[in-house]
Structure 1
Amino acid sequence: MATWMLSRIVARTTGRDVAELLTRRVLDPIGIGPVPWTRDLDGFPLGFSGMHLRPGQLARFAQLLLDDGVHRGRRLLPAEWIAGHRVSHIDSDGDTGTDWGMGYGWQVWRGLHGYRIDGAMGQLALILPEADAVIVTTNNIDGAQPVLDAVWGHLWPALEARGSGLNDDVEPYRRTLEVAPVAGEPAPERTVRATTGAGDRLVIRPTGGGWTVDLTRTDGGRFAIRVGCGQWLHTHLRLADGELEVAASGGWAGPELTIDLAVVTTPHTLRLRWGPDGLSEQWDTEPLNPGGLFGQARPAPGR
């Protein structure tokens, strides 16, 4: 709530919202440009959450913090803010993990090493001045401490040993974990019809060894999502106020059809299961944004 209030105070004081100011003063100069940011009901950026950044974009911002707010010789962030944001101003108890007991700065958490930008469900950017390094992770977990423990146990010793020798020529280390598609048999020649809890109508029909989910929303909007069997198929849906990127896979197991709809710009996957008892819907982790599948759409930049 406090950070949301700051976003509104900036808008009232300057006549421009936080997204516009950040884009012009910081994001454009470091090569990120305008990014989607979820807004409140009055149209202002949430401030505390909802900024849609790809890992590489988040790493660029973390690098700016590591470089004390200076990018290619140009100061983008005030020196006094840099000095103040990364020290502890508020004590924390650490009940949920060692790193959580290191204190809280200005919208950042102190850690065993350096400090971090910490998003829900394990979206992390670690700024590590001692090793002249940044680490960015995207996750779908309840609590970030296991990820931090893995970093301190496996990556930190190597970073610490090489800290004084790192330079701009070092290639970034990236690792992508492949998520297995749904196990199951190919589609029989059978069309499934169902209605979601929100009242949207689904027609799931076999197409070329997979499926197409034809979805008609309660407001009359119609969309088609491709579903792979033994593989993920991607669908990009353009909506009136943004876009939705979905990777989908499915399979039959006896009388039951399971389809996973992974919203690739979020941590979340929606599982649809159709069987003798009808349709069930289950998120792997409950999304922060309400509104079901379409509530996870990425807003257009500036909206």
Structure 2
Amino acid sequence: MSAILTRVTGKSALDYARETLFGPLGIEDVMWRADPQGVSGGGAGLYMHPRDMAKIGYLYLRGGVWEGKQILPASWIEAVRKADIDMRESWTKDLRYGSQFWVIPGRDAYMAVGYDRQLIVVMPKLDIVAVTTGSARFSPQSGLPGRPRYGLTALVDQLAGAVTADAPVRVDPAATAALAQKVKDAAIEWPGPVGEQPVMAKTISGKTWRFAANELRIKWLKLKLDGAEPSFEYESEGGPATPAARFGGPIGFDGYYRIGGRQRYGLSAARARWLPDGKTLVLETQTHGSDDAARVSLEFDDKTVDVKFEAAFGYKATLTGRTDD
């Protein structure tokens, strides 16, 4: 659909949206993944702030009107509310689909659904727009991967229950303080484990580790660990929808992520620790602000490195690299 829009308008979906939707709503800070031909992803890959997601929800809540101007046809939004296509998805048996939105029949609620419960929820009868964000992550407590799995109908029911009552809500200072603390805690980066720097760190620093063809499309990897600012760099050979390029950035060894450098879709964030065996480095990486967290275990020998890659959403891969340095 995105490619068709580009052919008809001569503009990418992102540029067209900036002109006809984002611009009128005052949405400026967005990114939309595109292929090498400049065609926006269409069904996924759009990044924006929660407040801007809420603007889109509010536009739908008000029948397509924004500041007195009809941005979207009211008939389009009414059709969304009445969507009744059963997509026969195992994860959403109680939802129906239409015009890029999921509808909960009988509750007059519909929502745009992104990866890992990133949602724009519209509830017209209650005059509510709710936005949630979420991501796949490795637990700072257990180290296990996880992602949001709560039911969408249950969320809507909780929202409805929170705003409807037979009497005014009783003031509860303790609950208010607890909520404020939860919000504060959510903004804190919890440090990860820290390991001692072994002799191996200096031995491997600066060497280039090359890989045979592999499913991660990694050609080579280089770590610089003997200076004041440790870093990593690698080259991806690219694929049908992604060009070859070099990526990497600084690494934090104090339990905290260092931000900088570049990943394919934004800034790199990375931290690492050495395991007690003195030869295994555990590198945690992600694109800053994205949900692509990954953990990479690199076990070094004199001329080889065994790599175990695990993404927080469940994907795993292994490969072996060699160096002639």
Shared fold (TM-score greater than 0.5)? Answer: yes
Structure 2: which amino acid aligns with 1:24? E
Residue 64 of structure 1, aligned match among 28, 49, 59:
59
- Tell me by how many angstroms 1:185 deviates: 1.9
Moved more, 250-259 or 269-278: 269-278
Q: Which residue of 2 aligns with 1:184?
A: 194
Answer yes or no: is 1:229 the counterpart of 2:249: no
Percent identical pairs in the alignment equals 21
Secondary structure at the counterpart of residue 136 of structure 1: strand
Rounded to whole Å, the distance in 1 between the matches of 2:85 and 2:158 is: 29
Q: Which residue of 2 aligns with 1:146?
A: 150
Q: Which residue of 2 aligns with 1:104?
A: 97
CA 1:58 to 1:220, structure 2 compared with 1: closer, same or farther past 3 Å? closer
- Tell me by how many angstroms 1:181 deviates: 3.8
Structure 1: which amino acid aligns with 2:20? R
Moved more, 198-207 or 134-143: 134-143
Rounded to whole Å, the distance in 1 between the matches of 2:51 and 2:296 is: 31
Aligned residues: 267
Alignment of 1:32-71 (within 5 A): 32-33=27-28, 35-71=30-66
Q: CA RMSD in A?
A: 3.4
Answer yes or no: is 1:124 the counterpart of 2:130: no
Structure 2: which amino acid aligns with 1:266? S
CA 1:161 to 1:247, structure 2 compared with 1: closer, same or farther past 3 Å? farther
Q: Deviations over 1:182-231 (max 9, x none)?
A: 323243463345456512222140555xx622314267847532324222
Rounded to whole Å, the distance in 2 between the matches of 1:56 and 1:145 is: 23
Q: Which residue of 2 aligns with 1:213?
A: 231
> Mind listing any 5+ residue stretches in structure 2 that lack a counterpart?
137-145, 170-179, 237-243, 316-325
Q: Deviations over 1:101-123 (max 9, x none)?
A: 23112110012641110112322
> Mind listing any 5+ residue stretches in structure 1 that lack a counterpart?
166-172, 288-303
- Tell me by how many angstroms 1:10 deviates: 2.8
- Tell me by how many angstroms 1:130 deviates: 2.7
Rounded to whole Å, the distance in 1 between the matches of 2:307 and 2:88 is: 43
Structure 1: which amino acid aligns with 2:4? I
- Tell me by how many angstroms 1:36 deviates: 2.2
CA contact (8 A) 1:187 1:206 kept: no
Higher relative contact order structure (alpha carbons within 8 Å, sequence separation ≥ 6): 1
CA 1:229 to 1:155, structure 2 compared with 1: closer, same or farther past 3 Å? farther
Secondary structure at the counterpart of residue 296 of structure 2: strand
Which of the pair has more CA radius of gyration? Answer: 2
CA contact (8 A) 2:147 2:313 kept: no
CA contact (8 A) 2:259 2:269 kept: yes
- Tell me by how many angstroms 1:152 deviates: 4.0
Q: Which residue of 2 aligns with 1:267?
A: 291
Q: Which residue of 2 aligns with 1:248?
A: 270
Answer yes or no: is 1:278 the counterpart of 2:298: no
Secondary structure at the counterpart of residue 134 of structure 2: coil
CA 1:138 to 1:216, structure 2 compared with 1: closer, same or farther past 3 Å? same
CA contact (8 A) 2:249 2:268 kept: no
CA contact (8 A) 1:86 1:106 kept: no
Rounded to whole Å, the distance in 2 between the matches of 1:223 and 1:17 is: 28
Q: Which residue of 1 aligns with 2:241?
A: none
CA contact (8 A) 1:226 1:235 kept: no
Moved more, 199-208 or 129-138: 199-208
Alignment of 1:2-41 (within 5 A): 4=1, 7-33=2-28, 35-41=30-36
Residue 136 of structure 1, aligned match among 118, 131, 139:
131
Q: Which residue of 1 aligns with 2:174?
A: none
TM-score, length-normalised on structure 2?
0.69
TM-score, length-normalised on structure 1?
0.73
Structure 2: which amino acid aligns with 1:215? E
Answer yes or no: is 1:159 the counterpart of 2:163: yes
Rounded to whole Å, the distance in 2 between the matches of 1:284 and 1:92 is: 27
CA 1:9 to 1:280, structure 2 compared with 1: closer, same or farther past 3 Å? closer
Q: Which residue of 2 aligns with 1:258?
A: 282
CA 1:261 to 1:94, structure 2 compared with 1: closer, same or farther past 3 Å? closer
- Tell me by how many angstroms 1:260 deviates: 0.6
Q: Which residue of 1 aligns with 2:220?
A: 200
CA 1:202 to 1:153, structure 2 compared with 1: closer, same or farther past 3 Å? farther
